[in-house]
Amino acid sequence: MKRICSLFLFLALTATAMASASADPANPNANAKARAILSYFQSLASARTNRILSGQFTDAGPRASLKLLENIQSQTGHWPALMGADYANYGRGSLTSKEPNQAAIDYWKQGGLVTISAHLYNPANTNGGGLRDKGVDLNTLLDPNSDTHKRWMNELDTIATGLQQLKDAGVVVLWRPFHEMNGGWFWWGDKDPETFKKVWQHMFHYFTTTKKLDNLLWVYSPNHGKNTAAYYAGDNYVDLVGLDAYTDFVDKQHIHGYDEVAELPKPFGFTEYGPHGSEKPPGDYDYRRFIAGVEKDFPKTCFFMCWNWKWSLAMNNNTKELLDNPAIANRENIPAQLTGTGK
C-alpha cells in the first residue's frame, strides 16, 4: 500500500510539473482549440519522435490553393502538418482573404494546422501597395489624428474580417504578422524596437479585445541575423517564436540569432525556410541536409514551414526521406481532436 501511495504521489507531482511548464496563451480569452494546439506545440519539446511539425507555404492572395500540398503528398505519401498562406494581393497592392481562407478551411477540415501571414501594404502610402517603401514613421500608425492611422485601421479591419471567417469555420490560426521586422526590406522593418512593439501590441489588443478573435496564436518571426530578439513584444503578446532563413547551410555559421530567440519562453520553429538563398533557387536541394542541421544545431525546433516555388518540398530532392524521418510529424501524426476532423 505504501508503494502504491508513493506511485500516485509521483504521478501527481509529475502531472503538476508538466502543467506548470505549459504557458497560457497570450490572449487570456483564447478558445479551447487554440489552447489545446498551443499545449501540443509546448509538448513537442519533450517528445522523442514526431516532434518537429512539417510545413509548406502554399502562396499568397488569389494564388493560394492546396495544389502544392497535393503535389507533395503524391511524391512522398505524406501531407505536411502545417499549411501556410498569405493575405497579400500583390497585383492590386492590397489584401484579400478569399482564396487563402478557402485553402485554410479545406486543410483544417482534412486534419491539418494553419498559419496565415500578411505582406502588409503601407498605410502611409496613399496609392496603396508600398510593401518595400522606406522612411515610414511607425508612430503615425498610432496617431488617431493622422490619415495614416485611418488607413491602418481600415487595413486591420480587412485582416480581421478574414480572420473572423476562419474563426466562424472553427479554424485556429497561427497568425504571423510583421515578419522579418529586424530587416530593412519591408516598410515596417528595421525601425526603433520600442515603437515597433507598440504597433504589435496595438494590433494584438485590437484583434483580441475589440474584434474578439480568440482563434489566434501569435507568432514572432524575425529574419535570422542581428537583433532577432530585439523586437519581441513580450510574453503576453506572443505564443510561438521562430526564424526566417534562406540558406543551403543549416548550421550556426550560416543561420544567426537562434540562441537569442530560443531563449524566449515560447515554442521555436523555422517560420520560413528556403534553400539557396532568397533569390532564384535552382530547385535541386537535398532536404536531408535540413533535418540533419536542425537536429545538430537547432534542438528546440518543433515546426518549420518551407516557402513555395523552387524552395518548396515539391521541387527539391529527398523530401520523402525528410518527411519519413522519425523526428518529423506530418498531418497524419496530429491528434485528430486538435483540428477540424475532431469534435
122-162 pLDDT per residue, tens: 999 999 999 999 999 999 999 999 999 999 999 999 999 99
Within a domain: residue 228?
Answer: yes
Which domain CATH number covers 57? Answer: 3.20.20.80
pLDDT class for 12, splitting at 50, 70, 90?
A: very low
Structurally, the chain folds into a number of domains equal to 1
Q: Any idea which residues carry the catalytic annotation?
A: 180, 272
Contacts of 20 (CB under 8 A, 6+ apart): none
pLDDT at residue 103, rounded to an integer: 98
In a domain, 10, yes or no: no
Does some domain include residue 13?
no
Beta strands in the chain (DSSP E): 52-53, 55-60, 82-86, 88-89, 94-95, 113-117, 173-176, 216-220, 240-246, 268-274, 301-306, 328-329
**C-alpha closest to that of 334 among 311, 302, 308:** 302
| Tens of pLDDT, residues 65-119 | 999 999 999 999 999 999 999 999 999 999 999 999 999 999 999 999 999 999 9
Is 17 a domain residue?
no
Domain assignment present for 9: no
Report residue 20's pLDDT band, with 50, 70 and 90 as the boundaries.
Answer: very low
Mean pLDDT of all residues belonging to the chain: 94
Q: Which three cell numbers stand for residue 283?
A: 530547385
**Does residue 26 lie within any of the structural domains?**
no
Contacts of 145 (CB under 8 A, 6+ apart): none
In a domain, residue 253? The reply is: yes
16, pLDDT greater than 50? no
Please tell me the predicted confidence (pLDDT) of residue 220.
99
Residues 269 and 304 sit within 8 Å (Cβ to Cβ): yes
Residue 273 falls inside a structural domain: yes
Domain that holds residue 214: 32-338
Distance between alpha carbon 264 and the CA centroid of its chain, in Å? 16
Quick: pLDDT tens for 318-335: 999 999 999 999 999 999
| pLDDT for the residue numbered 343 | 58
pLDDT value for 317: 98
For 286-305, what is the mean pLDDT? 98
User: How many C-beta atoms surround the C-beta of residue 252 within 10 A?
Assistant: 14
